[in-house]
Amino acid sequence: MSQQASMRWIGARVPKLDAPWKASGEVRYLPDFVVGGMLHGKIRRSDRVHARVKSIDTSAAKKVPGVHVVLTAKDVENVAFGHGKDNTPFKGDVVRCIRDELAAVAADTEEAAEEACRLIRVEYEDLPALFDPRAALERGAPVIYPEWPDNKPFTYRYAHGDVKKAAAESAHVVEDEFDLTWVSHCCMGTSAIIAAFDTGGRLTLNSLTQVPFLYRRDMAAIVGMKPEDIRVIQPTIGGAFGSKLDIYPFEPIAVHLARAARRPVRIVFSRQEEFLASPTRQPAIIKLKSGCDARGRFTFRDAYVLLDNGGHTSWGATIPFVMMQTFSSLYRVPHVRFLTDVAYTNNPYSGSFRGYGNLQATFAIEQHVDRLAEKTGLDPLKMRLLNAQEPGEETGQGLKFVSCGLRDCLDSAAKRSRYEEKRAAKKGESGRRVKRGLGMASMLHVGGGAKIYRSDGCGSVLSIDDFGKVTLVTGSTDIGQGSETVLAQIVAEVLGVHLDRVKVVNSDTDVKPWDVGVHASRTSYVAGNSAMMAATQAREKLLKAAAEQHRLPVEELSLADNAVMHTPKSGVAKKLEPIDRLVRSLHFSDRAELLITQAYFEPGSVKQDKEFRGNVSPTYAFGTHVVEVEVELDTGLVKVLGVWAAHDVGKVLNALGIEGQIEGGVVMGLGYALTEQLKIERGKVLNPAFRDYHLLTAPEVPPIDCDYIETEDPTGPFGAKGVGEAPAICVAAAIANAVYDATGVRFTALPLTPERVLDGLIAAGVTKDVGAR
Amino acid sequence: MQPQVEIRFTLNHRVVTAAVPPTMALLELVRDRFQLTGAKLGCGEGECGACALLMDGEPVLGCLTPAVDADGREVLTAEGLCGAKGLSPLQQAFVNEGAVQCGYCTPGMEIAAEAVLLEHPTPTVEEIRRGLEGNLCRCTGYVAIVEAVQAAAGGGR
Amino acid sequence: MTTSYLRPTTLDEALAALATTPTARVLAGGTDWMIPARAGAVPDALINIFRVEQLRSIRRTGDALELGACVTVAQLLKSKDVLQAAPVLWKAADRFASPLVRSRATLGGNLCNASPAADLSLALLACDATVTLASKGGRRSLTVEELVLGPRKTALGPGELLVGVRVPIRAGQVSRFEKSGPRPALEISAAAVAFTATVEGGRLTGVRIACGAVAPVPMRAKKAEALVEGRALDPALIEAAVEAAAGEVTPIDDVRATARYRRRLVAAYVRRCLEACTDDRRLHAAAS
Ligand SMILES: Cc1cc2nc3c(=O)[nH]c(=O)nc-3n(C[C@H](O)[C@H](O)[C@H](O)COP(=O)(O)OP(=O)(O)OC[C@H]3O[C@@H](n4cnc5c(N)ncnc54)[C@H](O)[C@@H]3O)c2cc1C
Ligand code: FES
Ligand code: FES
């Protein structure tokens, strides 16, 4: 698509359009607004991890003053849903994890609803439970679903080349088992919904979903309605990060309550409930074997991944789609095998989370890069450069890298962090109780969506009113990441109007055209291209109309400063006519034409075949992080001194926005690496509070240096690719490599809490234990 | 039954009265009775700072401060930082520096930041970071927030 | 059941109120009390002492620092007297919760809440502080060890209020406060050590090593103290004291840390405290 010589909006530091409203404290999130006659819904969950439900007695609950309805599985048509069709709004006969919903109450006040939930009496008969996916796959293990006697609802097999042969011929081979645990999204706004029926029986959902159209379709099936009778409104949202990609039981429960009570019902999770009952990042056990030849070129990678599916299936079970891309394609590896088993247990279940399996995969792979580098005698940076992908490459899995800035990312992060100098200078610090180390890691992620459905497209409708105000109605969703602003910038740039003339409408399925939703870092790319198409059509219409009216060749006309500009062949540009006047002249003329355009953009990616081969995304994001750490040998505390992040972003669309995405992502990655863990023991969450689930705080955040590699992908809007997920992905791997550099001890499990690190240091003899004398 | 305690205080520059039970949190009073929903219930346990309010110029937790203790005091929420001309300079700096993403933590952050500026009109980066240590943000990684407070203090970059 | 609510403005009023309703719950900053209260644990009477001015003062006399029970952590941090006369208390305040909590969390609340992980109590124990309890009938003084009897258990009698804390000022005192966790603050201690000693002629005297979150109450590592008391430090002696301290604490496993790690932290912190003394120039000069 054509590009203007100098751009006004693209690449600028543009504050988010909704930021002033949010900064004033006046914007209302779901827990902040009430609809007339609204009741409060609360859910009674299981006390057991695996049990037969013998009876549920709701009689006392029903008597609590203010209670309108109490529902259990018996009261509704309990339709199965989800990726594994193994979840239902209420659990009637068997509970399979502590999240399981047994009953729900709608009452005048939250207190009354809570009180009623407490008074519901449940009789259980405990069943043998499973907490370890390895045990779940053993012969004779208790069975969690009779339909899956082997407890194995999904497997994934991918391969290219001949791993066995390559392993035998490799000069160096390393092998490890990595153990990645549960972490929580910790959206500052907890899960919430308001369900309201109107008198005509239409349902309006104020929902936090990231995928409004798929949500509407799935919800319709669950609650027995037609999708077109459901309107999904997406109010401002207090963070998502992937957590709202699936439907969870509380949502249809709100609908059932509203229907039964004939009143609108709002459910808002408490923080504790959010920790207990919202999806987590998928835990994974990764057994990885990797090899290289004598010069350090990768020969093979052989991975076996075991995923704990918990008691029900959500998107966590599908992370192998993304994991295998990193195994097969982050570097050139001629022989790759990737096998995953997904096992039911009685633990909580996992959903999608920014990075979608890639943090786990990258943690394993990038530590192996360092291990092989050490065996080969190469510096980790040289090892990566030697094996890095390049533009034009098609990988063994069929991913096509039209643009690829991985080498530049490696070079930039190394240079800006003074990587080589610092690694060399480290030698003389033996004997000290605090050790410094430097580590690096790289990443690959889809940068323009992922075609996991038949379509990965997005629709746009654009109109310019009589006052020159441009309205873009986009199918896409803004979950706080600032996509709305980027779309407005694209439109403003194409139409030569000031940003304050552009309004983006994106929050109502009754109005907006179809879109898959926010996932796979696709919004800037897919919705951006769609908006750009609609804006380009509008521009052509405007220029054509102006050319006709002013009898000028269209090639001499352009748009800038809210006006049509005329640049005669010989002379300088001058203002011909303001856009609003031009639009009015179309409207109030014989042509009686309104300026409205529409576009639908479908990315040029393909749905992968049964062997998982195919170019699933039209473009890919790459990045490299270098981190510097300090490790206290006596306490195991790891302090991060600096992060240098270099990302192939295609093109910077909003300099302010991208900085925020990268800083936020890096800090999320640091939390994953160092402090965050949802501690689950025998199926129960031990730390459902911020007091014991540690997010990083401002004083702990190190300086973060961001560099953007602009590879200008020819298919992206102005060359951009999506980077929403990228910055969180390789942080933990880089930290683990840095801790190794500092201490000589490798850690294969997260998070690197002081306690875990000290255990490792003592086991390796780096630190002397007390009592060891 | 809990007794209702009559209190009178200044809320965002206006004198208000209310009768409240002694165990009611100030956050609830401000949100539910006065419809000022800028301050959020992020955890209810003092750990996230989304509920932060200014009380006589000191930052407090809305969720753990008894409403009865507002009696005779001056309470400010993020809405109250705005002046007649709109956003305060601090709030505007939050906008300009990209300190607002999902925005859920923003009102609480602004209150904590305002308290930093009241105590240190030209704060060091360390003073800002320590001043915000009770406020969690999941979106921004805090960098832009710290920059916004610096900018508001006239420190620039 | 009706809850009565009182907000006395003077100490006498507060004591009188407590005398008439000895079962009343005292409310100071509420940072500990509000969580159970909001969950429904409502007492029959509530006496709010947070704004009793007499309980809010910080005074430095010749040989002591006198602190009112309702002095907040924020007040401690702003006080030069505290920084100079009781630096270990100041440091504990600096690593305490967050500014949003510090503005209301009080010294008296920290002591009376009697948490095993109470940081101010720990620092006060290391400072050899005494607390004053008052009731309508009179006053008495206790050490921190005498006051804090167990988790959530104190020696406060019915009708009694903790009114103040007295921290002796010792010339030539060195001190250190070590607390676990990557966060500078907003961290409930998995283990903490507060240390004070007086340096005399190259030797440590009056050594107090207080360990937090490793026993039902903040405790002193008395065996370790005895080992180093009056002696010149050398690496072997330090290691012996470290081993002794790690051996005498009685930590438990919980969601924050294992007992094993808590013991290791105590060892690391005691070692840091003692090594810092050998780094102290005054000590070096005197010893050599
Ligand atoms: C987010 C958060 C972080 C925290 N971090 C820390 C930390 O880092 N370190 C730490 O030590 N603590 C921490 N705490 C705990 C708490 O803040 C402290 O224990 C605080 O000092 C309690 O003081 P208060 O005035 O708020 O007590 P209150 O809650 O008012 O009272 C606590 C108890 O003491 C009694 N009481 C209070 N004052 C008196 C008195 N004068 N006489 C008799 N009885 C009295 C009350 O009846 C009540 O039982 C934290 C709390 C929160 C919410
Ligand atoms: S809601 Fe008050 S600190 Fe989280
Ligand atoms: S902006 Fe989303 S939590 Fe801070």
Q: What span, in angstroms and rounded, lies between the C-alpha atoms of A112 and A100?
A: 21
Take residue A471 and report the two structure tokens written for it: 């309205």
Nearest residue to A552 via CA among A569, A528, A529, A527: A569
Q: Please give all residues whose beta carbon lies within 6 A of any atom in ligand 3, as ranges.
A: A 188, 239, 480; B 100-106, 137-140
How many residues does this entry show for chain A? 773
The per-residue pLDDT for B1 is 63
The separation between the first and the last C-alpha atoms of chain A, rounded to the nearest angstrom, is: 72
Take residue A414 and report the two structure tokens written for it: 């190394």
The per-residue pLDDT for A409 is 98
If you average pLDDT over residues C245-251, what whole number do you get? 97
Nearest residue to C215 via CA among C165, C130, C156, C149: C149
For domain A19-26+457-601, say whether CATH 3.40.50.300 is its number: no
Take residue A266 and report the two structure tokens written for it: 């709002």
The per-residue pLDDT for A425 is 85
Nearest residue to A331 via CA among A376, A295, A290, A278: A290
State the residue for tokens 């022989």. Answer: A335
- Identify which ligand lies nearest to the alpha carbon of B140: 3
The per-residue pLDDT for A772 is 54
Closest CB from B23, B47, B61 relative to C37 = B23
Tens of pLDDT along A667-677?
999 999 999 99
Strand, helix or coil at A204? strand
The per-residue pLDDT for A427 is 59
Residue A572 CB-density burial (10 A; 0-12 exposed, 13-18 middle, 19+ buried): exposed
Q: Which CATH class is domain A34-127+190-237+244-277?
A: alpha beta
Which ipTM value was assigned to this complex? Answer: 0.97
Chain B CB within 8 Å of residue A669 CB: no
**C287 has pLDDT over 50:** no
Other C-beta atoms lying within 10 Å of the C-beta of residue A279: 26
Ligand 2 proximity of B44 Cβ (cutoff 6 Å): yes
Residue C230 CB-density burial (10 A; 0-12 exposed, 13-18 middle, 19+ buried): exposed
If you average pLDDT over residues C181-210, what whole number do you get? 90
Known active-site residue A147: no
List domains and CATH numbers for chain B: 5-79 (3.10.20.30), 89-152 (1.10.150.120)
Q: Pairing mode, if any, of strands A265-268 and A230-233?
A: unpaired
Q: What pTM was computed for the model?
A: 0.97
Residue A183 CA to ligand 2 centre (angstroms):
21
Q: Do B141 and A270 touch (CB under 8 A)?
A: no
**C182 has pLDDT over 60:** yes
> What sections of A389-473 are H helices per DSSP?
406-416, 419-425
Q: What span, in angstroms and rounded, lies between the C-alpha atoms of A87 and A210?
A: 20
Which part of chain A has CATH 3.30.365.10? 19-26+457-601
Please tell me which chains touch A, using 3 or more CB pairs under 8 Å as the contact test. Answer: B, C
Radius of gyration of chain A (CA): 28
> What sections of A350-482 are H helices per DSSP?
358-376, 380-387, 406-416, 419-425
3-class DSSP string for A209-276: CCCHHHHHHHHHHHHCCCHHHEEEECCECCCCCCCCCCCCCHHHHHHHHHHHHCCCEEEECCHHHHHH
3-class DSSP string for A630-645: EEECCCCCEEEEEEEE
The per-residue pLDDT for A381 is 98
Nearest residue to A37 via CA among A107, A113, A112, A115: A107
List domains and CATH numbers for chain C: 4-49+56-168 (3.30.465.10), 173-287 (3.30.390.50)
Tens of pLDDT along A388-424?
999 999 999 999 999 999 999 999 999 999 999 999 8
If you average pLDDT over residues C155-176, what whole number do you get? 95
The per-residue pLDDT for A428 is 55
Closest CB from B3, B49, B58 relative to C98 = B49
Closest CB from C185, C188, C268 relative to A635 = C268
Cβ(A450)–Cβ(A603) below 8 Å? no
Residues with pLDDT less than 50, chain A: 1-4, 773
- pLDDT band for B113, please (50, 70, 90 cuts): very high
E-strand spans in chain C?
4-6, 25-27, 45-48, 58-60, 64-68, 130-135, 138-143, 148-150, 153-154, 161-168, 173-179, 192-200, 203-212, 219-220
Residue A279 CA to ligand 3 centre (angstroms):
19
Cβ(C265)–Cβ(C242) below 8 Å? no
Q: Which of A115, A484, A577, A725 is catalytic?
A: A725
Nearest residue to C125 via CA among C140, C139, C109, C142: C142
Which part of chain A has CATH 3.90.1170.50? 34-127+190-237+244-277
- pLDDT band for B85, please (50, 70, 90 cuts): confident
Pocket probe mutation, ligand 1, options C3, C27, C31, max atoms within 8 Å of Cβ: C31
Q: Residue A45 — φ and ψ, nearest 5°?
A: -105, 170
The per-residue pLDDT for A4 is 46
Other C-beta atoms lying within 10 Å of the C-beta of residue A393: 14
